[in-house]
Structure 1
Amino acid sequence: MIYQNTLAFATQLDEQDSLKGFQSKFLTPKHNGKDVIYLCGNSLGLQPVTAQSEVDQILKNWQERAIEGFFTGDEPWLDFHKRLTYTLSQILGANRDEITIMNSLTVNLHLLMVSFYKPTGNRFKIMMEGGAFPSDQYAIASQARFHGYDPKDAIIELFPRECEFTLRTEDIIRKINEHADDLALVLFSGVNYYTGQLFDMPAITTAAHGAGAFAGFDLAHAAGNVPLQLHEWGVDFATWCSYKYMNSGPGGISGAFVNEKHFNNKKLNRFEGWWGFREDKRFLMPSVFEGEKGAAAWQLSTSPAILLALHKASLDIFEAAGGIAPLRAKSELLTGYLEFLINGINEKHGDELFKVITPGYKADRGCQLSIVCKQNGKPTFDKLTENGVIGDWREPNVIRLSPVPLYNSFKQVFETGLILAAST
Structure 2
Amino acid sequence: MTYDLTPAFAAAQDAADPLAATRADFHIPPGPDGRPTAYFCGNSLGLLPIAARAAVEAEFKSWETQAVEGHFHGEAPWMFYHKTLAEAEARIVGARPLEVVVMNTLTVNLHLLLVSFYRPTPTRYKVLMEGGAFPSDQYALESQARLHGLDPDEVIVELVPRPGEHTLRTEDIEAKIAELGDSLATIILGGINYYTGQVFDMAAITRAGHAVGALVGFDLAHAAGNIELKLHDWDVDFACWCTYKYLNSGPGGTSGAFVHERFANRPDLVRLAGWWGQDPKERFQMKKGFRPTPGADGWQVSCGQVLPMAVHKASLAVFEGVGGLAPLRAKSEKLTGYLEFWIKSLGLPANHLEIITPADPAQRGCQLSLLVHERGRELFDFLAAQGIIGDWREPNVIRLAPVPLYNSFEDVRRAGAALQTFFK
Q: 1:10, 1:414 within 8 Å by CA — same for their partners in 2?
A: yes
2-structure distance, mates of 1:351, 1:156: 30
How many pairs are equivalent? Answer: 422
2-structure distance, mates of 1:210, 1:323: 32
1:365 maps to what in 2? 364
1-structure distance, mates of 2:262, 2:167: 32
- Amino acid corresponding to residue 75 of structure 2 in structure 1: D
Q: 1:87, 1:315 within 8 Å by CA — same for their partners in 2?
A: yes
Is 1:161 the counterpart of 2:162 in the alignment? Answer: yes
The one-character-per-residue Cα deviations of 1:24-51 (angstroms, maximum 9, x if unpaired) are: 1001111121111100000000000011
2-structure distance, mates of 1:150, 1:33: 54
The one-character-per-residue Cα deviations of 1:58-88 (angstroms, maximum 9, x if unpaired) are: 1111010001111111221111111111111
Q: Give 1:121 deviation, angstroms.
A: 1.4
- Amino acid corresponding to residue 381 of structure 2 in structure 1: D
Say which is worse superposed, 155-164 or 77-86, in terms of deviation.
77-86
Q: 2:267, 2:291 within 8 Å by CA — same for their partners in 1?
A: no
The one-character-per-residue Cα deviations of 1:238-292 (angstroms, maximum 9, x if unpaired) are: 0000000000000000011000111233552111111111122222223211211
Is 1:187 the counterpart of 2:188 in the alignment? Answer: yes
1:354 maps to what in 2? 353
1-structure distance, mates of 2:331, 2:395: 31
Say which is worse superposed, 349-358 or 297-306, in terms of deviation.
349-358
1:98 maps to what in 2? 99
- Amino acid corresponding to residue 62 of structure 2 in structure 1: N
Is 1:9 the counterpart of 2:9 in the alignment? Answer: yes
Counterparts in 2 of 1:72 and 1:112: CA distance versus 1, 3 Å: same
1:171 maps to what in 2? 172
2-structure distance, mates of 1:355, 1:371: 6
Q: 1:270, 1:298 within 8 Å by CA — same for their partners in 2?
A: yes
Partner of 1:280, secondary structure, is coil
Q: Give 1:53 deviation, angstroms.
A: 1.0
Partner of 2:187, secondary structure, is strand
2-structure distance, mates of 1:96, 1:350: 49
2:50 maps to what in 1? 49
The one-character-per-residue Cα deviations of 1:201-259 (angstroms, maximum 9, x if unpaired) are: 00000000011100000000000000000000000000000000000000000011000
- Amino acid corresponding to residue 146 of structure 1 in structure 2: L
2:62 maps to what in 1? 61
Q: Give 1:6 deviation, angstroms.
A: 1.0
1-structure distance, mates of 2:321, 2:280: 30
Q: 2:76, 2:84 within 8 Å by CA — same for their partners in 1?
A: no
Partner of 2:250, secondary structure, is coil
Partner of 1:10, secondary structure, is helix
- Identical counterparts, % of pairs: 54
- Amino acid corresponding to residue 409 of structure 2 in structure 1: F
Q: Give 1:350 deviation, angstroms.
A: 6.2
Q: Give 1:352 deviation, angstroms.
A: 6.0
1-structure distance, mates of 2:229, 2:207: 15
1:218 maps to what in 2? 219
2:89 maps to what in 1? 88
Say which is worse superposed, 192-201 or 254-263, in terms of deviation.
254-263
1:321 maps to what in 2? 322
Q: 2:133, 2:193 within 8 Å by CA — same for their partners in 1?
A: yes
1:257 maps to what in 2? 258
2-structure distance, mates of 1:194, 1:339: 17
State the TM-score, normalizing by the size of structure 1: 0.98
Unaligned 5+ residue runs, structure 2? none
Q: 1:124, 1:182 within 8 Å by CA — same for their partners in 2?
A: yes
- Amino acid corresponding to residue 402 of structure 2 in structure 1: P
Q: Give 1:373 deviation, angstroms.
A: 1.2
Structure 1 stretches of at least 4 aligned residues deviating more than 3 Å after TM superposition:
349-353
Q: 1:28, 1:36 within 8 Å by CA — same for their partners in 2?
A: yes
2-structure distance, mates of 1:295, 1:313: 22
1:411 maps to what in 2? 410
TM-align CA RMSD: 1.0
2-structure distance, mates of 1:262, 1:248: 28
Q: 1:99, 1:255 within 8 Å by CA — same for their partners in 2?
A: yes
State the TM-score, normalizing by the size of structure 2: 0.98
Q: 1:231, 1:259 within 8 Å by CA — same for their partners in 2?
A: yes
- Amino acid corresponding to residue 25 of structure 1 in structure 2: D
1-structure distance, mates of 2:349, 2:272: 58
Q: 1:202, 1:233 within 8 Å by CA — same for their partners in 2?
A: yes
Q: 1:342, 1:354 within 8 Å by CA — same for their partners in 2?
A: no
Partner of 1:371, secondary structure, is strand
The one-character-per-residue Cα deviations of 1:72-125 (angstroms, maximum 9, x if unpaired) are: 112211111111111111111000000001111100101000000010111100
- Amino acid corresponding to residue 6 of structure 1 in structure 2: T
Q: How does 1:1-400 map to 2 (within 5 A)?
A: 1-31=1-31, 32-346=33-347, 353-400=352-399
2-structure distance, mates of 1:312, 1:244: 15
Unaligned 5+ residue runs, structure 1? none
2-structure distance, mates of 1:308, 1:267: 29
Partner of 1:126, secondary structure, is strand
Q: 2:355, 2:368 within 8 Å by CA — same for their partners in 1?
A: yes
- Amino acid corresponding to residue 361 of structure 2 in structure 1: K
1-structure distance, mates of 2:345, 2:269: 53
